[in-house]
Amino acid sequence: MRPKTLQQRIILFILTPVFFILAGMGWISFLYARNAIIKQWSETAVATLQKSAHMIDMRLSKPKDMLLMLKNSYNQEQGIAIQAFIIEQLRTMEGVVEVNQKLTENFDIKANHPGIGMVHNHSMHFGRMENFQLSLPRYNTVLNGETVSLSTDFIDKNGKKTGQIEVVISFQDLIDQIRKANWWKTENAFLIDNEGNVLIGTRQSKDSNDPERSVKFGQTDPLEKETIAALKQNPYGTLFGPGHPPDEISGYYHLNEAPWSLVLISPGERVLKSILNFRLYYFVVGFLSILGVILFIRVSISGTTTAIKKVSEAANGLANGFFTEPLPVLSQDEVGKLTDNFNKMTKQLKERMDLKEAMNLAMEVQQSLLPPAHFSYGNIEISGCSVYCDETGGDYFDIIEFPDDPGKICVAVGDVVGHGIGAALLMATTRALLRSRVTQKGSLPQIMKDVNRLLCMDIGDTGRFVTLFLLMVDKKKGEVQWVRAGHEPAMMYNPEQNKIIELKGKGIVLGLDKYWEYTENVYGPVPKGTVILIGTDGAWEVKNNSGKRLGKKRVEEVLQQSVSLSSEKIVDSIVSETRQFRGEVSQNDDITLLVLKFREIPL
């Protein structure tokens, strides 16, 4: 299931991976530390056994060296005296109980070696006996006694045993220093030979429960068996029994001067107590540390998620039209910038909403200032429309009646530079000035001049201006009079000539030169079926998606094709043509059209 909220994504993609990464790193660190502690214990145990074994080796090496000296003395002058001295030294050596010399019963010394004498005092000494050799030292262990014997045989030139010398050593004296060691008193320790016989131990081996039988080490106990096997492979080391932690741990070390080995067996829980305590401490501290890190990340991120959640809730409210107070910016990071930008966006959006409401109100006001879209004046149909590219625009058309002279009617079409609210305000000003002036006496040029003068007072220095086409229909004379103030010429369809002619005339835009004198233009009589179109340049300057303009000629064609229709239908035809031409391209200028259709000749 995919996470749906930011909180769920944080838990799934941040907190969970962090937990497993930290837990994995902690486990690896624990294994490394545990192995280091075990290695340190193993090295300490082996070093302790090595030190104790060295004590036995030192005790055994002294009589062994004396026997080697005895062997070498048979090839030297004064050999008997040297031998007697060596044997005497052996007897007086610390820990030596006795020294025994034996000859085989069938060995005839006088027959084979004349001149050899006897020396008593419990030992035999030989003179020069060059044909005799001593073998390398070997060890015999008295298993049920308190002594051990170090012996060597006399071998004749034929390789037969002719005698033996034996040094009996006190076993208790040999191991006295070991028994005084602290580890011997507190641990299960054994001194065993190569066959697994227990020479001495702090407890009886598990493999021998009968005190009458010779004690054996490593017969059935798995750890003791592994220890015996390991001794054959390596002179020292440590082994771990089954279990976690192991029930028992053994350490062993093989002596150099004797076929014996020291074995130390300890309970796993006691040996690994520091490791177990370390494991407990490590797991507790590690778990609390991981929990602390995760909580820290959670608390640190919670501020971010809370801020994002508030932005989301505010955005949802904003989408439903509710504006809230600005959100607090609690940080300078990306989330803080997001919150600040959201506050700015909300403020600007509210301002735009307020502006839009104001624009809608302005549009309503502007639409109310325009005359009815359809108007009849005797035999004249008048229709007009303004299509703005924004809510408000600067285009303008008006129909003004003369209360004091019902035989005349005036129409006007204006175009303020630009579009939008500024153009709409200027359009409203122009409309007010024109309406107030038309109701007073004066010709069309005088009216246009006064309006221009007043506009110049307001916008003369702003660079803004207004184009205006003012046309008056005189029913009594059957003619039309007009004044152009920089506006596009009107199009008039003459049914007698069946063509479009332009109603031109001189005149500059309003608001540019307050001293300008405008000229009146007259056309008459007006034939039946005449159609006059006054429009703004937005109608024929509209562009399609290839940037091509509709053009004034195309507007004239549409007008000529529609002259048989009513004034309202003529306006609709031209507007429809502009929309169809531009297609999906947005309208970029206001469009205003005013059509007058003469149904018959005025009298």
The residue from 314, 332, 361 where one domain ends is: 361
pLDDT, tens digit, 9 for 90 and up, residues 172-211? 777 777 777 776 766 778 888 888 888 777 765 555 554 4
| Distance from C-alpha of 72 to C-alpha of 182, rounded to nearest angstrom | 41
Name the residue with tokens 């297609």: 583
Q: For 286, list phi and psi in degrees, rounded to 5.
A: -65, -45
Both 355 and 378 in one domain: the answer is no
Both 336 and 265 in one domain: the answer is no
pLDDT score at 100: 81
Answer yes or no: is 366 within a domain: no
Both 334 and 251 in one domain: the answer is no
Name the residue with tokens 């924004």: 390
pLDDT at 434 over 90: yes
pLDDT score at 352: 82
pLDDT score at 12: 75
By the 8 A CB rule, do 426 and 369 touch? no
The DSSP-derived string for 267-317 is EHHHHTHHHHHHHHHHHHHHHHHHHHHHHHHHHHHHHHHHHHHHHHHHHHH
Answer yes or no: is 561 within a domain: yes
| Distance from C-alpha of 426 to C-alpha of 350, rounded to nearest angstrom | 27
Both 267 and 240 in one domain: the answer is yes
Both 259 and 281 in one domain: the answer is no
Q: For 486, list phi and psi in degrees, rounded to 5.
A: 75, 5
Share of the chain above pLDDT 90, in %: 26
Both 260 and 288 in one domain: the answer is no
By the 8 A CB rule, do 555 and 535 touch? yes
Q: What is the pTM of this model?
A: 0.52
Answer yes or no: is 315 within a domain: yes
By the 8 A CB rule, do 205 and 221 touch? yes
For the segment 543-570, the average pLDDT, to the nearest whole number, is 93
DSSP state of 156: -
pLDDT, tens digit, 9 for 90 and up, residues 4-61? 676 677 777 777 887 788 788 877 887 787 788 778 878 888 888 888 888 888 888 8
| The one-letter amino acid at 458 | D
Both 352 and 421 in one domain: the answer is no
Q: Which domain holds residue 300?
A: 275-361
CA nearest to 45, candidates 240, 178, 244, 183: 183
Q: For 301, list phi and psi in degrees, rounded to 5.
A: -80, -25
Give the mean pLDDT of the chain: 80
Both 569 and 478 in one domain: the answer is yes
| Distance from C-alpha of 486 to C-alpha of 508, rounded to nearest angstrom | 4
pLDDT, tens digit, 9 for 90 and up, residues 492-546? 999 999 999 999 999 999 999 999 999 999 998 999 999 999 999 999 999 999 9
Under the banding of pLDDT at 50, 70 and 90, the label for residue 469 is: very high
The residue from 302, 336, 361 where one domain ends is: 361
CATH (domain of 526): 3.60.40.10
Structure tokens at 74: 């048979």
Angle, helices 334-369/273-319, rounded to nearest 10 degrees: 10
The DSSP-derived string for 16-38 is HHHHHHHHHHHHHHHHHHHHHHH
For the segment 129-134, the average pLDDT, to the nearest whole number, is 33
pLDDT, tens digit, 9 for 90 and up, residues 316-373? 887 887 778 888 887 777 778 888 888 888 888 888 888 788 777 877 887 788 888 8
For the segment 387-398, the average pLDDT, to the nearest whole number, is 84
Answer yes or no: is 532 within a domain: yes
pLDDT score at 539: 92
Give Dmax over CA atoms of the chain in angstroms: 190
| Distance from C-alpha of 63 to C-alpha of 77, rounded to nearest angstrom | 23
pLDDT score at 106: 54
Answer yes or no: is 530 within a domain: yes
By the 8 A CB rule, do 408 and 402 touch? yes
Rounded alpha-carbon distances, angstroms, from residue 95 to 60, 184, 198, 291, 477: 10, 21, 21, 65, 163
The residue from 246, 271, 296 where one domain ends is: 271
Both 297 and 213 in one domain: the answer is no
Answer yes or no: is 34 within a domain: yes
pLDDT at 573 over 90: yes
Both 322 and 224 in one domain: the answer is no
Per mean pLDDT, which of 92-101, 218-227, 282-291, 424-433 is the most reliable?
424-433
pLDDT at 213 over 50: no
Answer yes or no: is 367 within a domain: no
Per mean pLDDT, which of 75-79, 151-155, 383-387 is the most reliable?
383-387
Both 425 and 555 in one domain: the answer is yes
Both 403 and 505 in one domain: the answer is yes
Answer yes or no: is 603 within a domain: no
pLDDT, tens digit, 9 for 90 and up, residues 231-280? 889 998 988 888 777 888 888 888 887 788 888 888 877 767 777 777 77
pLDDT at 143 over 60: no
Q: What's the total number of domains in the chain?
A: 3
